Amino acid sequence: MPRLQGKTALVVGAGSIGPGWGNGKATAVTFAREGAQVFCVDRNAEAAEETASLITGTGGRAVAFAADVSRVADVEAMVKACMEAYGRIDVLDNNVGIAETGGVVEVSEAEWDRVFAVNLKSAFLAMKHVIPIMQQQGGGSIVNISSIASIRHLGISYVTYAASKAAMNAMTRTTAVEYAKDHIRVNAILPGLMKTPMVAHSAGLAASYAGGDVDAMWRARDAQVPMGHMGEAWDVANAALFLASDESKYVTGIELVVDGGLTLKVN
């Protein structure tokens, strides 16, 4: 039997910023392949529609919804629409994230606020409005997409990204403890260096790695990983599938590192 049969999954950040497979897009499709009906949310309506169409085009069930999840009104509307469409929320996958390069001296206050709103406040708001539903249902699984940047310096200066993801780890742990009695599991995935459209479209990252040369950046990132190559969106999606499914029914509050061994290195 499919691992998410009969479950409803709300995937926040289900679109992709460009051609190819981002973590949220791959996760939404993976959840659908495993039997879930998927509510696909993205700030970009066309990106959400594309993911939903990939699911429905192969016989799955999906609804697309546009929302800026850093805004409480949009989050409230998102949750309401999901409940109207499917009547329940069994899985919440918080998958939005942006990065601004620079340390505490270089980053502006506006950049700091924007990154924290997108990377952290969005997950806070989504959990705030979904957890009461899961309590009424008798449980659920929440998967927050963090980063290994939250636990170590990767040679690139982006303090806003690292700090916001570290805060997400702490929020994941505290929420996991507080709602374990309600059979709501809350876990984080810490992807390492991934080859995704978001990274490809980050001019700051390409400039930091290779003077703006994206192909050279890919080669440099591959060389950093003990396995010799970056991960892909499907690696994150499969980790999310485990945490979303009943196979992980006794797992909560963890930080699941998916990085090809990168964080095992000294440098």
Distance (Å, whole) CA 130 – CA 61: 20
Please say if 161 is a catalytic residue: yes
| DSSP class of 47 | H
**Six-digit token string for 20:** 């190819």
Residue 43 sits at φ, ψ, to 5 deg, of -65, -35
Sheet holding 140-145, edge to edge: 62-66, 37-42, 8-12, 91-94, 140-145, 184-191, 255-258
Task: Give the containing element (helix H, strand E) for 256.
Answer: strand 255-258
Distance (Å, whole) CA 34 – CA 6: 10
Helix (H, G, I), strand (E, B) or coil at 177: helix
Residue 61 sits at φ, ψ, to 5 deg, of -115, 125
The CA R_g of the chain, rounded to the nearest whole Å, is 18
Q: Which of 161, 179, 209, 250 is catalytic?
A: 161
Give the chain's length. 267
Cβ pair 14, 40 in contact under 8 A: yes
**Of 78, 60, 62, which Cα lies nearest the Cα of 70?**
78
- Longest CA span, the chain: 53
Between β-strands 255-258 and 184-191, what pairing exists: parallel, antiparallel or unpaired? parallel
Q: Which active-site residues does the annotation give? A: 161
